[in-house]
Amino acid sequence: MQLNPNRVIIGMSGGVDSSVAAALLVEQGYDVIGITIKTYKYEDVGGNVGNDSTCCSLDGINDARRVCMKLGIPHYVVDFTERFKHEVIDYFIEDYRAGNTPNPCVACNRTIKWGEMIKKANALGAKWIATGHYAGIRFENERYVLSREMENRKDQSYALWGLSQESLSRTMFPLTGFTKERSRAEAERFGLGLESKPESYEICFIPDNDYRRFLRDNVPNIQSETKGDIMLDGKPLAKHDGFPFYTIGQRKGLGISHPEPLYVLNVIPETNIIEVGTDEHLLHKGLVAHSINLIKYDTLKKATRFITKIRYKDDGEIGECFINQDGKLEIHFEEPRRAITPGQSVVLYEGNDVVGGGIIEYWKD
């Protein structure tokens, strides 16, 4: 397959970051094609589907089209709704029904934003795909290495740990080294009219940011079938509204009174039980993760100390990391970690480099 090394397709959400990334590529002389992915059927998700704070809204598509017209580049909207439903939305629902707390952006990045975008790049003869993510890529020791923007509070490397070597080899991040403030300044310089556009925080297919409402709307009887007991020290304390509506570490919304603050310690879907306890019971010394993807190294032959992040807004702590006899990632922390949450990602860093990551399966004491 002959691919044009000067042609780039860029995923455009209509936001500041992807729009500035596209403008920079045009300025650098690349043959740029804007692609906006339609990931869900707006009538199916509820909430305010025109809300421009979500990355895949109708407003976002219109803004992306307008920016492409301003830059003089083609713009296409591609419909990935069926694949997105299977790979992201169905996974999101089933993980909550399994008592976990999923991270849909990680799944979307791997299967949709890169998996499907690379197929589209091949069809259009483009060697490269680009996005507006804040992260870095370099080639070193026969590996493509993903790195974090350590000084950038908008660093997005945590959500990109699932990218394969093939995906990284085809990727450009035009905003490497940028801050959000610089991106807004560049949007103004290019005259894109987006410098004051608010950022996207919500899950794209839940535009009102109410995942409980989304589950109730999309899973018949989920509330009635998952109700059960809130247990403290093995004894029933109260009733809950359905275990998918609770997550590890949650304090608010439990509807119980107790002399000490109580938190969700565990969600047990087999018996519809939610275990609660005091804050110190949220601390655990290790974890096991599945669905491992290694980036900087092709294997972890021996236990090695890395910085580990167990959620996006985690500063990270040192852990001894290795692949156990079951082929899963096992981590023993130097200091116990709080609220280790099955379904979330654990990501390993060596300095600023992403070593790899996995999906947390359970904690260990």
Q: What is the spatial distance between Cα 363 and Cα 365, in angstroms, rounded to a whole number?
A: 7
Angle between helices 16-27 and 180-189 (to 10 degrees): 60
What would the 3-class secondary structure string for 31-72 be?
EEEEEEEECCCHHHHCCCCCCCCCCCCHHHHHHHHHHHHHHC
Token duo for residue 242: 């359905």
Side chain identity at 210, as an amino acid letter? D
Q: List helix spans (H) across 198-343.
A: 211-218, 222-226
Token duo for residue 346: 């654990």
Instruction: Return the active site residues.
Output: 108, 204
| SS3 of residue 84 by DSSP | helix
| SS3 of residue 102 by DSSP | coil
Q: What does the DSSP 8-state code read for residue 157?
A: G
Tell the burial category of 355 from Cβ atoms under 10 Å away from its Cβ (0-12, 13-18, 19+).
Answer: buried
Token duo for residue 257: 């009174």
- Is-contact 273 298, C-beta < 8 A? no
- Is-contact 268 244, C-beta < 8 A? no
Pairing of strands 4-11, 31-38: parallel
Which phi and psi angles does 306 have, rounded to 5°?
A: -135, 160
The residues that bridge with 135 in the sheet, in sequence order, are none
